[in-house]
Amino acid sequence: MRLLVQRVSHAQVSVDGQVTGKIGEGLLVLVGVTHSDTIADVEYLSERCVKLRIFNDEEGKMNKSLLDVGGGMLIISQFTLYADTRKGNRPGYSDAANPELANDLYEKFIAKIAEKNIEYGCGVFGADMDVEFCNQGPVTILLESKK
């Protein structure tokens, strides 16, 4: 499982012109799932994500987590995180999980975040989405559950 995590001052996602998720300060998290991922990957990355210390403390150092600052999380499914671009100019997606597994683990990731009492918003799995955000820093970090 891969998460592309961005520290944002605000973010929102829309489907067909309707906002489906919106947050203020927090994290925009793009979620990619591969064939071998399980609930263990969801549990590991949901914990890592909320405890990742990428928010500034009083001295301007990245020393606080999402839990520390009380921020929100906008969660978007993103199969293109498993794009293979080593051959040719057109990405291949054979490393991305099938939609059934990907949606199941995406929903489980959302549930794990909800259990932590974090304000969150979501995209719509499989939909064409418009994502708007302001990356603070910029800070963008790739988290993976496997090497």
Answer yes or no: 80 catalytic: yes
Q: Which of 6, 34, 55, 78 is catalytic?
A: 78
Residue 4, judged by CB atoms within 10 A of its CB (0-12, 13-18, 19+), counts as: middle
Q: Do 72 and 26 contact (CB within 8 A), yes or no?
A: yes
CB 47 within 8 A of CB 53: no
- 55 included as an active-site residue: no
Q: What's the CA gap between 46 and 117, in Å, rounded? A: 13
Q: Is 38 a catalytic residue?
A: no
**Which residue is catalytic, options 34, 79, 125, 140?**
79
Task: Give the residue among 125, 33, 43, 26 at the shortest CA–CA distance from 81.
Answer: 33
At 40, which helix (H) or strand (E)? helix 39-51
Active-site residue, selected from the candidate residues 18, 80, 85, 133: 80
How, if at all, do strands 2-15 and 26-32 pair? antiparallel
Active site residues: 78-80
